[in-house]
């Protein structure tokens, strides 16, 4: 029989574990509301019959159908097509569209115009070359971020997001195998934008629109269908941080969650820490076993990692930026 249950509640980022204890989620298997991401690859979706030849553009016969996944307005802006009428994959896309509208104050008109022209001409870049090019853009944006040139970094991440279209991590265009095979699931552009916008908000001081932008970008990741364990863990950590920042200046906006962040309590930070502690890496689809409920917060891997620690405990620096001090008693 397992010992006392240890809920993943981290006061001051410290976790005390009794020998033989079993980690459990405090918030349960549906703690983080990420709709439209369950179902695995068995989910009945009207997926386009795309093959490798379509992804590499040796076959362009379905380019019109591929572009139809992206609804554009007359100026090239990404527009929703009716929430209730959309199927599962289109609902997932809507969250990305909302995040893009949040980036309106950093979107140049020529970017939207280029998107409209590409759709009109049914221009689809071969996916392998495109992802390679976007990785280069992302790395340049990362360097700009490191140099403190945050607005320039934000703009380059944004340009990469728009350059990716019409390819997007939608179940209409991909199953999980192809999403990870071609690198769509690992780009982490939205996660990086969330981190950048959060830092911009902190530099501005007070209540900043950048916090709202950061939260929208992070929530695009949490609502993504195809996302790696590491990318989701980082995004959840950003959601918790951003909620705390907003709560400091607008206590009327989700103050409870803001208080939770200070205490190390809350579904987002709990799941982030569990995912980061277990560390499924960048090549694992975090929702692969989430058929009816979200069980991606399964603690088995984290439990195994804790069990392997020395008796004296350990201090673990998670890639999300959180430091855990784990002790046994």
Phi, psi (rounded to 5 degrees) for 36: 70, 20
pLDDT per residue over 226-261, tens digit each?
Answer: 888 888 888 888 888 887 777 666 655 544 444 444
**Predicted local distance difference test score (pLDDT) of residue 95:** 43
| Top-ranked range on mean pLDDT: pick from 27-31, 49-53, 269-273, 275-279 | 49-53
* pLDDT-based confidence at residue 27 (cuts at 50, 70, 90): low
- Which pLDDT belongs to residue 84? 31
First to last CA, the chain: 18
Percent over 70 (pLDDT), the chain: 66
129 pLDDT band (50/70/90 cuts)?
Answer: very high
How much is the pLDDT for 142? 97
Kindly report each contact of residues 307-310 with a partner whose C-beta sits within 8 Å and lies 24 or more positions away, as own/partner.
none
Q: Give per-residue pLDDT as tens, 212-234.
A: 888 888 888 887 888 888 888 88
pLDDT in the model for residue 131:
96
Domain ranges in the chain are: 5-328
Beta bridge partners of 11: 14
pLDDT, residue 211, reads 84
Report the DSSP beta bridge partners of residue 328. 17
Which parts of 53-192 are beta strand (E)?
A: none
pLDDT at position 123, please? 94
Greatest distance between any 2 Cα atoms in the chain:
66
Q: Which of 89-98, 101-110, 136-145 shows the lowest per-residue confidence on average (mean pLDDT)? A: 89-98
**Alpha helix (H) residue ranges in the chain:** 52-55, 63-67, 88-102, 109-120, 127-146, 150-164, 176-181, 189-204, 209-222, 229-249, 255-263, 267-278, 300-307
Record the tokens describing residue 266, joined without a space: 């809350």
The CB-side HSE value for 29 (13 A sphere, CA atoms) comes to: 10
Q: How confident is the model at residue 46, as a pLDDT? A: 76
């Amino acid at each position: 029989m397992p010992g006392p249950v240890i809920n993943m509640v981290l006061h001051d980022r410290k976790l005390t574990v009794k020998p033989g204890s079993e980690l459990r989620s405090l918030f349960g298997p549906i703690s983080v509301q990420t709709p439209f991401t369950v179902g695995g690859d068995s989910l009945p979706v009207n997926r386009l019959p795309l093959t490798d030849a379509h992804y590499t553009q040796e076959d362009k016969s379905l380019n019109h159908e591929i572009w139809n996944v992206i609804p554009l307005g007359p100026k090239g802006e990404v527009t929703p097509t009716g929430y209730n009428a959309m199927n599962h994959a289109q609902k997932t896309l809507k969250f990305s569209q909302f995040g893009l509208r949040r980036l309106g104050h950093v979107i140049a008109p020529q970017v939207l115009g280029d998107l409209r022209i590409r759709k009109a001409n049914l221009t689809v870049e071969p996916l392998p070359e495109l992802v390679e090019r976007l990785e280069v853009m992302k790395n340049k944006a990362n360097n700009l971020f490191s140099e403190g040139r945050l607005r320039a970094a934000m703009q380059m991440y944004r340009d990469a997001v728009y350059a990716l279209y019409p390819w997007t991590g939608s179940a209409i265009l991909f199953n999980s195998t192809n999403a990870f095979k071609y690198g769509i699931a690992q780009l982490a552009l939205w996660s990086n934008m969330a981190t950048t916008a959060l830092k911009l908000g902190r530099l501005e001081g007070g209540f900043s629109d950048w916090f709202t932008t950061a939260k929208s970008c992070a929530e695009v990741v949490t609502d993504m269908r195809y996302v790696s364990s590491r990318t989701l863990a980082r995004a959840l950590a950003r959601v918790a941080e951003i909620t705390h920042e907003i709560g400091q200046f607008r206590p009327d906006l989700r103050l409870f969650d803001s208080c939770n962040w200070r205490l190390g309590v809350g579904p987002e930070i709990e799941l982030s820490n569990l995912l980061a502690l277990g560390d499924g890496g960048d090549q694992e689809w975090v929702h692969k076993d989430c058929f009816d409920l979200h069980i991606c917060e399964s603690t088995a891997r984290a439990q195994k990692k804790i069990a392997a620690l020395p008796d004296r405990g350990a201090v673990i620096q998670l890639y999300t930026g959180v430091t855990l001090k784990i002790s046994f008693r």
